[in-house]
């Protein structure tokens, strides 16, 4: 009961912070979605860092260390690459978004290619990827609350309560609520992760190095990459694909719009890769749990952090850990809800009803927040294997937006609207087929060398995307030039 009260206390604090964040502001679409483009380095840092510590990394990071061993380190690598690339990528995106007054990722594509229909396509891809991502956050929240409370709060009720909290403060305060809640979340998660990652190996093994030696002695080769399957080829291709997709998630992309100026991104790009290293301590927990709480099979490995915490600590600290875990669901979940609702209102409804005013669009976006939340709740309880397949497709889906985005940043137009749209559609189609059928590169071409067969299957979709994008661009360049589509150069630095 003590642990449960501590968790509920953190949820209440998050709700109060989220609601109070709107004080003194008129929550029009500009304030609600991008904070009036007035956030400084600290808030932008916390919003961007929110993508590091979600329930996927809090539970899944330790779970992968527990169940997979060495391959788990891919989670550490791709974020560092993405944050480094943000030094150049995000300022270019921010300049264009500020000049055009954009509010969503779909707005960016629609404006860059002068095509609301392309914006609608990007919105559909984004929402298709975001809904299962939100489901993941809600399921993680339910697991955390249920485990730390000793099942005093059932899994289903924990999810419903968390969804209600999310919907309320997102509707009321938008991105301001997410920013202030992230202050609490990142402060708490930093303390919890460092405490667990340092204390547990010392408590059970006498240090981090002895812990690694004990794991290696019990499971030889567990801490290295295997020769096939999750091999070095799989590792490198997965890291690169994930890095390309990192800022293609609509909520991460839109978070960049909130910055006061482009120097914010360059300052944060220096610090964020170092902040990513904190994930090492999450892995240390998972590796420690391998020998301390053995026997967790399959997806139960994701419970390793919670199981070793409840085994080791007093209830009050278990509650602190649970509260930190709940916040890792609430912050990214709030951004996902807001981004989904904004794209549905502005980039789908407004395409059908172009006369809709911005004020009415803002009201519609807020009204759609509980609708998206209810859809996510439905799939949380009824999705089964289908939602798992969709979740696996998520990163590969949003990565299909990367080629068109990158080429659109050139000073002269390198890709046509038709080329961008057809490339995205082709890549998305390949991702859907390969993921739902479970086909690997080795399955497509069993005669290839083993390192090639181990490539992440998302590489195939990205290659198809690029080939189609290039071919259609060559075929339609003259036609679109005749129609007089204007080039959209990046603003001078």
| pLDDT at residue number 385 | 54
Confirm whether 98 is domain-assigned: yes
Are both 268 and 414 inside the same structural domain? no
Digit-coded pLDDT (tens) for 89-135: 999 999 999 999 999 999 999 999 999 999 999 999 999 999 888 98
Counting the structural domains of the chain, the total is: 2
Predicted TM-score (pTM) of the model is: 0.90
3-state secondary structure of 419: helix
| DSSP-based three-state secondary structure for 375 | helix
Q: What is the pLDDT of residue 391?
A: 62
Same domain? For 78 and 133 the reply is yes
Q: What is the distance in angstroms between the CA of the first residue and the CA of the last residue of the chain?
A: 57
391: in domain:
no
Claim to verify: residue 331 and residue 203 sit in the same structural domain:
yes
**Percent of the chain whose predicted confidence (pLDDT) is above 70:** 95
376 lies in the same domain as 411: no
DSSP string, 310-373: HHHS-HHHHHHHHHHHHHHHHHHHHHHHHHHHHIIIIIIIHHHSTT--HHHHHHHHHHHHHHHH
pLDDT in the model for residue 490 = 44
Residue 127 located in a structural domain: yes
Its domain, for residue 473, covers 400-493
Q: What is the tens place of the pLDDT at every residue in 204-255? A: 999 999 999 999 999 999 999 998 888 999 999 999 998 999 999 999 999 9
Q: How far is CA 409 from CA 53, 93, 108, 279, 461, in A?
A: 29, 8, 11, 32, 22
Q: What's the angle, vertex CA 113, arms to CA 112 and CA 114, rounded to 5?
A: 95
Establish if 394 belongs to a structural domain: no
Distance between CA atoms of 27 and 30, rounded to whole angstroms?
8
Q: Which of 335, 352, 386 delimits the end of a domain?
A: 386
Same domain for 350 and 417, yes or no, is no
- 214 and 118 housed in the same domain: yes
- For the chain, residues with pLDDT lower than 70 are 50-51, 384-392, 481-493
In a domain, 392, yes or no: no
Cα-Cα-Cα-Cα dihedral sign, residues 416, 420, 421, 422:
positive
């Amino acid at each position: 009961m003590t642990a449960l009260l501590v968790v509920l206390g953190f949820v209440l604090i998050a709700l109060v912070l989220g609601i109070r964040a709107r004080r003194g502001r008129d929550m029009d679409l500009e304030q609600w979605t991008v904070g009036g483009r007035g956030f400084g380095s600290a808030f932008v840092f916390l919003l961007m860092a929110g993508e590091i510590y979600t329930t996927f990394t809090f539970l899944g990071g330790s779970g992968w260390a527990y169940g997979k061993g060495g391959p788990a380190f891919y989670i550490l690598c791709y974020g560092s690459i993405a944050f480094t690339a943000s030094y150049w990528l995000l300022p270019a995106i921010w300049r264009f978004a500020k000049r055009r007054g954009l509010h969503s990722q779909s707005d960016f594509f629609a404006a860059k290619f002068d095509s609301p229909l392309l914006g609608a396509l990007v919105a559909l891809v984004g929402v298709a990827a975001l809904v299962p991502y939100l489901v993941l956050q809600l399921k993680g929240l339910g697991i955390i609350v249920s485990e730390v409370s000793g099942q005093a709060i059932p899994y289903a009720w924990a999810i419903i309560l968390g969804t209600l909290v999310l919907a309320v403060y997102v509707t009321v305060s938008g991105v301001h609520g997410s920013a202030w809640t992230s202050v609490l979340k990142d402060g708490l998660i930093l303390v919890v992760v460092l405490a667990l990652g340092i204390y547990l190996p010392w408590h059970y093994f006498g240090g981090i190095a002895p812990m690694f030696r004990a794991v290696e002695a019990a499971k030889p080769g567990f801490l290295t990459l295997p020769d096939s399957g999750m091999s070095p080829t799989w590792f490198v291709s997965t890291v690169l694909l994930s890095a390309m997709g990192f800022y293609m998630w609509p909520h991460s992309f839109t978070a960049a719009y909130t910055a006061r100026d482009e120097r914010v991104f360059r300052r944060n790009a220096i610090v964020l890769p170092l902040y990513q290293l904190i994930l090492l301590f999450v892995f240390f927990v998972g590796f420690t749990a391998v020998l301390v709480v053995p026997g967790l099979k399959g997806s139960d490995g994701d419970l390793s952090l919670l199981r070793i915490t409840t085994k080791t600590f007093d209830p009050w600290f278990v509650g602190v850990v649970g509260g930190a875990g709940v916040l890792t669901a609430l912050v990214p979940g709030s951004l996902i809800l807001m981004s989904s609702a904004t794209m549905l209102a502005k980039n789908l409804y407004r395409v059908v009803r172009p006369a809709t005013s911005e004020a009415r669009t803002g009201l519609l976006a807020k009204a759609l927040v509980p609708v998206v939340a209810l859809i996510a709740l439905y799939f949380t309880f009824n999705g089964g294997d289908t939602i798992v397949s969709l979740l696996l497709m998520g990163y590969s889906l949003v990565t299909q937006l990367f080629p068109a985005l990158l080429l659109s940043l050139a000073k002269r137009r390198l890709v046509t609207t038709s080329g961008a749209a057809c490339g995205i559609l082709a890549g998305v189609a390949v991702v859907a087929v390969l993921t739902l059928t479970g086909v690997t590169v080795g399955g497509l071409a069993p005669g290839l060398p083993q390192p090639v067969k181990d490539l992440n299957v998302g590489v195939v979709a990205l290659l198809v995307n690029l080939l189609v994008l290039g071919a259609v661009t060559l075929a339609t360049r003259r036609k679109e030039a005749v129609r007089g589509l204007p080039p959209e150069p990046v603003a001078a630095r």
